[in-house]
Chains A and B, each alone.
Chain A
Amino acid sequence: MFYVSYIFSELRRRSGRTILTALGLALGVGLVVTVSALASGLDRAQGEVLKPLTGVGTDMTVTRPISFDTSGGGFPQLSEEERRQLQEENGPRRFGLRNLGKPGTKFSRDDFVAATQLSFPASTVSTIAGLAGVAATAGGLTLNAIHVEGTVPQETQQPQRGGVFAAPGAGPQVVGPRNVDIDAITVSGVDQTNRELGAITPGQISSGRYFSDSDSREAVLDAAYAARQGITVGETVKLGGKPFTAVGLAKTPLGGQSSDVYVKLAQLQALSDRKGRVNTVYVRAKSSEQVGSLARHIRETVDGASVTTAQDLADRVTGSLVDAKNLAGKLGTALALVGLLSAFLIASLLTLSSVAKRVRELGTLKALGWSQWLVVRQVSGEALLQGLLGGVLGVLLGLAGAAAITAFGPELRATFESAQTALPRLGPFGQGATPTASTDVSLDAPVSASLVALAVGLALLGGLIAGAVGGLRAARLRPADALRRLD
């Protein structure tokens, strides 16, 4: 107890120096708290943006993308068999109105064409599931559903390129001849038996519910698509001529495998005449450390496979959010480090200066029989208490900084560059490039309890370093030398 009251007495006597040292540490610690809170806020904002991209629990998606040679080369990467399969899945490049009946005859037809991925047997899902490091897999099928209806005109007109088919997700288009209506939407088949993996998961349902396990025709609609179309939960939507009950609405991903409508996988396979085929495999790895090696393994195992990891998706996000994150990650960290080191340096120098001014006192203590350890402990105790004071002040400064960021921080924009193969506006099968999408997120700077603990810990460390430096110097003083300096 005596030692503690001695420490307090000394700090009180040198209150100016105590406050100066504590403030020095507080500035460094406050900077660390603010920058860490900012980084945490940016992480959270990025997580908010990326969550719908990656899907809950999905570490990677496996597809078989088609790259189209616009110079007339077609699909150079596909084998003859694959080309035949592609042709079979997507049907004729054009349909002739003349073939639909006599002029004045009403017609209606539905086609499902591949988007930008080649399908593969569902057995591939099992193949991937068997690889080491795979925790779970689920198959999926994403297609463009094209509905054309109208009356065969007197003068048959072939749809113009760029006029019939529109980009997926762009809503219903009436771009053909005036008496022909064409709707093109994207639809994904979801393996509803595997609720944690797939194009949508129960966690993404914003209204209504997820698919039931029954065989009833159910659809989950993209919330934005439903709003555009004025469709609410409980209404019926038609797909391939069949009625589906809209059981829920889902928040659509910012980019990647977004669709307008989601139905059960088996029903989409049946409707599109693609029984036993999928074009996306959702994979969850056993651990995040295995994602990289597993992605390589899948590429080696599945011919032509493209593996997209959550990190790949994160890398495609650009905009002010990423700029801010990079800035906080590099400049912010450097600033915090410099601030902290400066604070430690200031605290150490002030403690050394304090020791230099107390040579007589410390020499007297040694003359009275205080051991080196006791002298070091006394000086370190004072520095440690200064550190604690600095830590508390630093946390307060950091909280103020974080509050200022939350109050006055700008809205940050995240832009997602689509990963899909950019085909011509009107591809041979009608598919278009998915447009670049953006979203705004508000910036905040949360200060967690662990961050507060870290800040106080850093300040105490600063105090300890300063105390150790000063204490050791004090301890090395020979009492005779210390007392001799008095004269």
Chain B
Amino acid sequence: MTVTELTTTPIYELRAAGRRFGQGGAQVNAVREVDLEIGEGEFVALVGPSGSGKTTLLQLLGGLDRTTDGEVLFEGRDLATLGDGALSALRLRTFGFVFQQFNLIPTLTAAQNVEVALAPTHTGSAERQARVEALLGSVGLAGRAGHLPSQLSGGEQQRVAIARALANEPRVVLADEPTGNLDTTTGEEIIELLTSLSSEGRQTVVLVTHNPEIARRASRVLQMQDGRLLAPAVPEELVAGGDRTRS
């Protein structure tokens, strides 16, 4: 068994991690036998065709789902064995999620959507407001705080989602095709934003994408196929395809 090359301290260790759905003959192995280490501050791109298990793996990394086989260790703790409360706390304080469809709450303003992530932390109201203001400013939306998601463009909505993901200064940002619904220019801006997180803030970023150009911006690219992690790839190889199943 080989593990991807790692140059920094591992924050994640995956050992034969797997996730099965269904039972009997209808069983589907969305993720199977994944061995992986991710270092702190790494920018990892997860690529592969639709249905290859990228999103499921991302959810396992973020404690949104539990492994059925193997283990996903975050700082030495198996996420599958943690209770709901502990996982909630991790998601609140340590992980930040960015979704393809933004997942903003339509009834709340941009500022309130960011505040959603701060509310459970018992931060004082004034401090919370100041933090929201700063976060929106950092993603270039200082003047759009009072707007509802329906009044924002796709790019602006995703910026709000990133501000929300960063609200509690997470150590890991997990982004699931954050540019999937955006035009090229806007997508580029979003990727710039995420790239700067790992380079400036020492935040670990795991990004799921279909786009080789975006994947090329990552410090490491992991390719998935049929739930398995393939050998390390370079962007050109990703476009051409090919079997690089790691052994």
Contacts and interface: CB of A to CB of B under 8 A. Distances in A.
Interface string B87-109: 01111110101010101011110
Given A364-B99, A369-B92, A371-B85, A10 B107 contact: yes
B105 A361 contact: yes
B62 A367 contact: yes
Interface of B: 55-56, 59, 62, 64-65, 84-85, 88-93, 95, 97, 99, 101, 103, 105-108, 112, 115-117, 119-120, 125, 128, 164, 168
A6 interface: yes
24 contacts: A2-B125, A6-B107, A6-B112, A9-B107, A10-B107, A13-B106, A13-B107, A360-B103, A361-B103, A361-B105, A367-B62, A367-B97, A368-B91, A369-B89, A369-B91, A369-B117, A370-B120, A372-B88, A478-B64, A479-B59, A479-B91, A480-B65, A483-B59, A483-B103
A440 to B, nearest CB: 58
Contact of B112 (A5, A361, A371, A479): A5
Contacts of A360: 103
A369 B89 CA distance: 6
A10 B164 CA distance: 19
Given A9-B107, A9-B108, A374-B120, A480 B99 contact: no
A366 B103 contact: no
Contacts of B85: 371
Contacts of B56: 480
A1 interface: yes
Task: Name B's interface SS.
Answer: helix
A479 B90 CA distance: 14
Interface residues of A, number: 27
Contact of A2 (B62, B89, B92, B115): B115
Given A370-B120, A486-B101, A2 B112 contact: yes
Contact of B99 (A13, A478, A483): A483
Interface of A: 1-3, 5-6, 9-10, 12-13, 360-361, 364-372, 374, 478-480, 483-484, 486
Contacts of A483: 59, 64, 99, 103
Nearest to A13: B107
B125 A1 contact: yes
Given A5-B112, A13-B107, A368 B164 contact: yes
Given A364-B103, A369-B120, 19 more contacts: A2-B119, A6-B112, A9-B112, A12-B107, A13-B106, A367-B91, A368-B116, A368-B117, A368-B164, A369-B89, A369-B168, A370-B120, A371-B85, A371-B88, A374-B120, A478-B65, A480-B56, A483-B64, A486-B101
Contacts of B103: 360-361, 364, 367, 483, 486
Contact of B119 (A3, A10, A364, A478): A3
B97 A368 contact: yes
Given A369-B92, A370-B120, A371-B84, A364 B105 contact: yes
